[in-house]
Amino acid sequence: MNLNRRSFIKGAALAGGAAGLSGIGGCAHMTNSAWIYKDSTMMGFSAEPIPELRVAVIGLGNRGPGAVKRLTRIDNVAITGVCDLFEERVAKQVEFIKGKGAPAPEAFFGGQQKWRLLCESANNDLIYITTPWLWHTPMAVYAMQCGKHVAVEVPAAMTLEECWQLVDTAEATRKHCMMLENCCYGENEMMMLNMCRKGVLGQLVHGEAAYIHDLCEMKLDKNKYVDRWRLRWSIEHTGNPYPTHGLGPVCQYMNINRGDKMDYLTSVSSAEFRLSEMARSMFGDKSPEVKTGFKLGDMNTSVVKTFRGRTIMIQHDTTSPRPYSRLNLISGTKGIVADYPLRVALEPDTHKWMEEKALEEVKKRYRHPLWDKSGESARRVGGHGGMDFLMDLRLCHCLQNGLPLDMDVYDAALWSSIVELSEKSVKRRGNSVKIPDFTRGGWKTAEPVGV
């Protein structure tokens, strides 16, 4: 896949896979009647219950096989379709599903547009997308146009135009579009959400979010990512290309899009250092990797100001040799909770972190009901300590019972919009940029997340 954006978008438009570029596209199951809902809000939206949920998975590389495994463990969920560029990946998942005693799913492989056939199939209710970034929005948009609900990996979109495509299409088709932000279901994140909901921290003032993860060798590895798509982004772009893992939970703590909204952002990036150093050591001074160079700074720091006067710091660093962290900090007028490692300080003693015994009491007292009920089974099934399984479990539960989802298309668009907005601010020497209101004012009256 050529990651040059202009070439990619042109190809997607010719294939009918991107809303706004190719009109409705060619989905055989899309009817014009769906477009009567244009501009109807998806805030708090609940679709008709689907007690026997049929799921199709696109992308069977790094993330897809784990999703297939988890989904087979959920009651009344059937995997009815699988798709990938490579036949051997598809065949492996078909055999896995059959080994669970389930019927073989429809199998699609061998071409970059085969996913369209999966979306058009009448055998699927939910399209679960785990492909490289630039495919997320075209696939999600086309799936919704085909009358399917969508769950899409992070980020859901890489440009503001794509963010609006997701929102416009979800509103037009009345189909769910949820970004698969698994970190919102982490045990500590959900405990912190519970504490915020119960007012333990008082008025929330400031949050900190990050994706700090040394991926240098993986980016440079010629076999890890197809066509080294993640490395190519580092060559062509700056800013924060992967903001949502840390940002999603903080937005839920603060009820962003549900009582408050992001107002503006300012962003700065360091120079690029380590990726070039490692490329030189791995491939030599005269290698294409070294000669090409990289635009993505080692550390990006963005700061968001909200309408209600709160601040959120978001960092991205996938090159520095340092331990993994999402920061995951929330501070209020009565105390603070910070992660990596987990620390708590509450009134009246906020000048030092709690001792271990008191911290364990807090963890026990504010453990989220979802983790209390399903945490042990989630750990057994796996997926980043169980958070992936809880995410899938909640998604399927809500669709099966006709409930609003924990994360909607407006969250997907807003959290993903940081990708382009941060790059714009970096290129303008840190000048602030306005953040769109994807809810079109719906944030003023929306209810908090139901989970």
pLDDT in tens, 265-286: 999 999 999 999 999 999 999 9
Question: Can you give the pLDDT at residue 30?
Answer: 52
SS3 state at 343: strand
pLDDT tens digits along 399-414:
999 999 999 999 999 9
User: What pLDDT is attached to residue 32?
Assistant: 44
The confidence band for 226, taking pLDDT boundaries of 50, 70 and 90, is confident
How far is residue 296's CA from residue 90's CA, in Å, rounded to a whole number? 33
- Return the ∠ at Cα 430 (arms to 426 and 436), rounded to 5°: 80
- The mean pLDDT value for 310-330 works out to 98
330: enclosing H helix or E strand: strand 329-332
The tens digit of pLDDT for each residue in 46-78 reads 999 999 999 999 999 999 999 999 999 999 999
Q: Model confidence over 347-387: pLDDT tens digits?
A: 999 999 999 999 999 999 999 999 999 999 999 999 999 99
The DSSP H or E segment spanning 373 is helix 369-381
Q: Taking Cα atoms as reference points, which of 302, 320, 322 lies closest to residue 312?
A: 302
**Alpha carbons 410 and 144: distance in angstroms, whole number:** 15
Q: Answer whether the bond into residue 348 is a cis peptide, omega within 30°.
A: yes
Going along the chain from its start, the domains and CATH numbers come out as: 49-182 (3.40.50.720), 184-369+407-444 (3.30.360.10)
Say how far apart CA 191 and CA 396 lie, in whole Å.
22
Number of Cβ within 10 Å of residue 98's Cβ equals: 12
Whether the pLDDT of residue 107 is over 70: the answer is yes
Give residue 2's pLDDT.
40
